[in-house]
Chain A
Amino acid sequence: MRNPDKLFAVLRAKEIIKKLHIEEPKHIIIEDIAAVRGVFIKEEPMSGADGRLATLGDHGIITIRENIDIAAKKRFVIAHELGHFELHRGEIFNIRCTDKDFFSWYKGNPLEIEANYFAAELLMPEDIFKRRVLGKEVSKELIESLAYEFNTSLTATSIRFVTLRPEYALVCSESSWIKWFVVDYDHFPYYINTSGKVHNESLAYDYYHGLDLPKHLFPVQTYAWLENRYPIKATLKELAIPIGRKYNQVLSFLLVEET
């Protein structure tokens, strides 16, 4: 299996953004973008998948599960399938995306990773998104306002934030268990505990135990998240954002400030 070509995926999305003169989040009407690329979107009952793309020649039909109740998620599914349309036509046929693919950013099926990078760039273009995050410390308010403005989920927005601000790492936990993480070790050169239950010194732990969370980065013990392989003279800060009682998930942003 080949390695994912993330750069190619991002450049393809950038090309479309440039051609369509997308300059503000309000210009990103995903159904319209799909239409001018030759792709029709419809909703249907589906039980096996969130979305499906069928493509033939220059045209495609994206079908999304009709009972996806979050608009931001629908947009991401459409953008992801549009990514397959733009990137993978002619490469391989009959690809089936698995549950794990939703969080395929650094490992997994290369086609899914590429489709995710394409979708992230299309829905949250780097140039537009960066202007809103550069020089700003992550906070609950910032992530929520970005998610609102770009009409994206808190999860997708958070992932986008850390890919553009790689000094941060992001860990998602669910019902106290670490589920997935996004970290760029070139910029965040610390090993994170990425399996098992969240540590009882973490803010994520506090959330699962009914405690109120700070709305800004808050110092926690380094061993709350970082592996204790070597002594670290640094302050670890965490921002924990719950993403809905329905999912019982927490997104933990981590930032190390060396002392």
Chain B
Amino acid sequence: MSSNNQKPFADDRNFIDLFTDFLGNTEGESKEDIKVELKKQGIDVEYIINNVKKLINTKIDERKRQWMIDAKKIRNKMREQIESFKEDIPEDISTIKEKIKQLMTHSEYSDQALAFFRNYNEMTDTELKQLYKDFLKLLSLQKNNFSGNEKP
């Protein structure tokens, strides 16, 4: 049985030497015999196996959740870039409409520039301006080669 009171080895080197010596003399012995022999020499195999399993599981979990840590960084990076973007927006709404149309149909992004509205009723002039601003911010992300979306 594993024990939390297991005496620690004086140092790792000592453990490796002991273990290597031991493995050199185990020919013909069963797994159980080896475990008993190791136990006599102060090595609790079950304890070691459990700890290694725990360590592996912790590392696997950490790796699985790494994207959440990355996500926080990406969000901050995007926020910085988007909030630092400043550009004067035309006041005239027909100009804005024309610019959005141009962006969607004539720019190098024409096949990628999209806008979707959830539960759309009618867009106000302010919302059209906001949409245009969003496109300009996205253009700035693209032009600055923002590489925040390291898709896992």
Contacts and interface: CB of A to CB of B under 8 A. Distances in A.
A104 to B, nearest CB: 11
**Most chain-A CB neighbours within 10 Å: which of B117, B123, B152?**
B117
B111 A90 contact: yes
A201 interface: no
B115 A94 contact: yes
A94 B104 contact: yes
**Most chain-A CB neighbours within 10 Å: which of B119, B127, B142?**
B119
Nearest to B60: A21
B115 A95 contact: yes
B119 to A, nearest CB: 4
B16 interface: no
Interface string B130-152: 11001101110110001011111
Nearest to B137: A61
Contact of B119 (A23, A50, A53, A63): A50
A81 B146 CA distance: 21
Nearest to A90: B111
Interface stretch (A28-36, A184-192, A229-237, A242-250): A28-36
Given A50-B119, A99-B119, A40 B75 contact: yes
A101 interface: yes
A56 B109 contact: yes
A49 B127 contact: yes
Nearest to A99: B119
Given A32-B75, A36-B151, A56-B113, A98 B120 contact: yes
B67 A54 contact: no
A36 B131 contact: no
Interface string A17-41: 0011101000101011101111110
A50 B149 contact: no
A89 interface: yes
B130 to A, nearest CB: 6
A48 interface: yes
What is the interface residue range for chain B against chain A? 35 or more
Contacts of A44: 130
B68 A29 contact: yes
B86 interface: no
Interface string A96-109: 11110110000000
A97 B149 contact: no
A48 B117 contact: yes
B114 interface: yes
Interface in B11-45: none
Contacts of A53: 114-117
A229 B151 CA distance: 54
Nearest to A39: B149
A54 B68 CA distance: 24
Interface string B58-100: 0000001101101110110011001000000000000000000
Interface of B: 64-65, 67-68, 70-72, 74-75, 78-79, 82, 104, 109, 111-124, 126-127, 130-131, 134-135, 137-139, 141-142, 146, 148-152
Given A31-B75, A55-B113, A56-B138, 11 more contacts: A21-B67, A36-B152, A49-B121, A50-B119, A54-B114, A55-B112, A56-B114, A57-B138, A59-B146, A77-B118, A84-B116
29 contacts: A23-B64, A27-B65, A35-B75, A35-B78, A35-B148, A38-B148, A39-B149, A44-B130, A47-B121, A47-B127, A48-B121, A50-B118, A54-B134, A54-B135, A55-B138, A56-B112, A56-B139, A59-B141, A59-B146, A77-B118, A84-B116, A90-B111, A93-B104, A94-B114, A95-B115, A101-B119, A102-B119, A111-B116, A115-B116
Question: Sorted from nearest, which 10 A-B pairs have the closest CB atoms?
Answer: A38-B149, A32-B71, A56-B138, A51-B118, A21-B64, A54-B134, A96-B120, A49-B117, A35-B71, A84-B116
